[in-house]
Structure 1
């Protein structure tokens, strides 16, 4: 009876520690009330696997099953792709089993054969929790795993997989010889430190990628500021020329009124009003930065003979800061205008279709424009910065192109 109680306590510790481990590296899903039952789900799933593994008495099957349970658990309760689920599930089980193996070797070397071996299971779980706490202390909360390529994930995964293979080998090839047990003991400790080192190495790579991204964003910010100053200068020059035209047209209206030609004066005044309205603000989204960027790009496109249509909503509650807003809007619109200028040179009419709305709690920004020919999509500085903004808010960024059109869509 005492053994059963101890087993249930151990599985409870494993379930809690595993959730604590996954919370360190993965972002929890917003699944409402179901999120409160994470512990219960993992506890009973682990219990079923333990009973199943004990029934067949095959450690290899039990190990694979518990890893599959961890992977499925991460898929249900965390926002992670399959590479992250597999990697952290195997890593968690590796650390869990290594501490068990370490305590088992200590047991074999220092505990009498007549003693009950299960007495050291509880200290083993405490040792594993200490390792998890150390890992949590090392990790700085950098969860932007999108910066890691598939090859990097494959390289990182080799260590936990080799660890599991080594553990299985030590478990099935156990020996009563003191030298072998001592070797297994030091090997277990070494593998624990190697797996912790992998976590620290991953953190270092993500930190460097973050610095590179921040450097690129800083460069983009300077470019945006310079572009803004140039555009403001162009606006002032355009306004000066428009003011000269407006004065001439107002004088013409005055002359028509003096002559009594009120119909011609009214028609000219109506056209002048429409022109001023279009010139001042083509778009109004209730957000000053968004309005400034969209109107600025609208006028820049019109001067190049490129039309631009808008479908916009209220951006008053936009969560992006000013810098991110400029980066997101300017890069995609600049690319669209650049491609449309090539089409205009061929004597064809072009229209850029812009959609900027908030639907279902998500921001949707799409730009669609014609192209001269199919464009090979490459991640230049502009698109990389847009992707960085999307990644920061856990959003999606996708581009597509064929022989007729190019389209970019951002969902945050």
Structure 2
């Protein structure tokens, strides 16, 4: 019984770490709490579930203790009660399924592999936690792959191999009745720490890869602000030019009026109106960020002979931060403009629709394109020569939209490409 308790205390470390893996996988946001608060929360979780199992050990109480702890733990990452409850139930369902599998094995009395009854209980609790960890590795890798997070294929395979090898070694040891419980416990504990170390290594490498990817994304994001600054500089230059030209125009008009050449003065004014009416189209809304970004893009579109139509109905306050809106809108328009440069001038068309409704804020950008789409692992990527920036634009949009629990969709056919973003606004 002593060896059973020792192994139970140690294997619970795997259990808590597996909970951490699943919690950080299912929750869409990283915890905003300091690391010491997070570590303390998981330590309390370990103490509670270990104490309940060791001193109470009533299935119903154990179940509720785990569920309540999981539910409370989920608030480290999100304040949405329904979302947290759902995630807690999903995690415990995975745990319950694993326990059901192990219990089925334990109840088969004729199972020849457990030749020594003294190894049975120790093997069951050990295998249960290893199987739980194995499930978490598979789920985390699937989510990382699905969300296009940077990782390597070999690391998950290596971790899976270690877990499978651990299970095989456990069965081999359990079938050997000559090994005493102390030796069996020692080997099991050693295998636990090997599994934990391999998973820790995987987490560290994955974190490093994602940090590098974020740095590349940040470089891409800062381009948007650089373009804003460039546009403002151009507008300042234009204002100085208009001021200088305006003075000259007034001098000409004054000369014409003094010479009582009113017809020539009127014709001169008409010419000026024609010139200014053909100047750049400007967007003017209540939001300065939208104005600055769109007007810069409009100038670029005009330079590249891209036909533009717009429908802008927005308020001063946006549902997202100005910085994130600049990233979202800037990258989507850049994506549309890049597509225009691959088709004939007469077919270049972009439609931008930004609507701020009562309960939602939507961005829809339609553009013509050549029908060629390049994908990698189900993710659309650009065909730019710089392979290091492939997919960063749309991925930056996806990250910003998900930060606010928004929706980002892409649809396309042979001739038309549509990007759609929607944010649900707070009712209050």
TM-score normalised according to structure 2 size:
0.56
CA distance in 2, matches of 1:39, 1:260: 82
- Could you say which structure has the higher helix fraction? 1
CA distance in 2, matches of 1:161, 1:222: 43
Return closer, same or farther for 1:53/1:406 CA change in 2, 3 Å cut-off: closer
Counterpart in 2 of 1:332?
Answer: 332
Counterpart in 2 of 1:391?
Answer: 399
Q: Which runs of no fewer than 5 residues in structure 1 stay unpaired?
A: 63-104, 110-116, 133-142
CA distance in 1, matches of 2:409, 2:70: 34
1:220-264 CA distance string (max 9 Å, x none): 355445444443443344445555665566677775896566996
User: Secondary structure of the residue that 1:211 maps to in structure 2?
Assistant: helix
Aligned: 1:378 with 2:381: yes
Query: RMSD over aligned Cα, in angstroms?
Result: 5.4
Equivalent pair of 1:11/1:46 in contact (CA under 8 Å):
no
Query: Superposed, which structure 2 residues align to 1:185-224 within 5 Å?
Result: 185-221=185-221, 223-224=223-224
Query: Superposed, which structure 2 residues align to 1:6-405 within 5 Å?
Result: 6-17=58-69, 19=71, 23=74, 30=80, 32=82, 58-59=104-105, 108=118, 146-148=148-150, 151=153, 155=157, 158=160, 162=164, 165-166=167-168, 169=171, 173=174, 176-179=177-180, 181-221=181-221, 223-243=223-243, 255=256, 268=270, 271=273, 275=277, 279=280, 281-284=282-285, 286-314=286-314, 316-318=316-318, 320-343=320-343, 346-358=344-356, 363-372=361-370, 374-376=372-374, 377-379=380-382, 381=389, 383-392=391-400, 393=403, 395=406, 397-405=408-416
Return closer, same or farther for 1:199/1:411 CA change in 2, 3 Å cut-off: farther
Pairs aligned (count): 332
CA distance in 1, matches of 2:92, 2:370: 59
The higher-RCO structure (CA 8 Å, 6+ apart) is 2
CA distance in 2, matches of 1:41, 1:332: 35
TM-score normalised according to structure 1 size:
0.58
Q: CA deviation at 1:42?
A: 8.5
Q: CA deviation at 1:371?
A: 2.5
CA distance in 1, matches of 2:318, 2:94: 42
Return closer, same or farther for 1:151/1:210 CA change in 2, 3 Å cut-off: closer
User: Secondary structure of the residue that 2:351 maps to in structure 1?
Assistant: strand
Equivalent pair of 1:387/1:397 in contact (CA under 8 Å):
no
Counterpart in 1 of 2:13?
Answer: none
CA distance in 2, matches of 1:280, 1:175: 83
User: Secondary structure of the residue that 1:348 maps to in structure 2?
Assistant: helix
Q: CA deviation at 1:210?
A: 3.4
User: Secondary structure of the residue that 1:353 maps to in structure 2?
Assistant: strand
Equivalent pair of 1:309/1:352 in contact (CA under 8 Å):
yes
CA distance in 1, matches of 2:322, 2:397: 12
CA distance in 2, matches of 1:388, 1:59: 47
Return closer, same or farther for 1:150/1:354 CA change in 2, 3 Å cut-off: farther
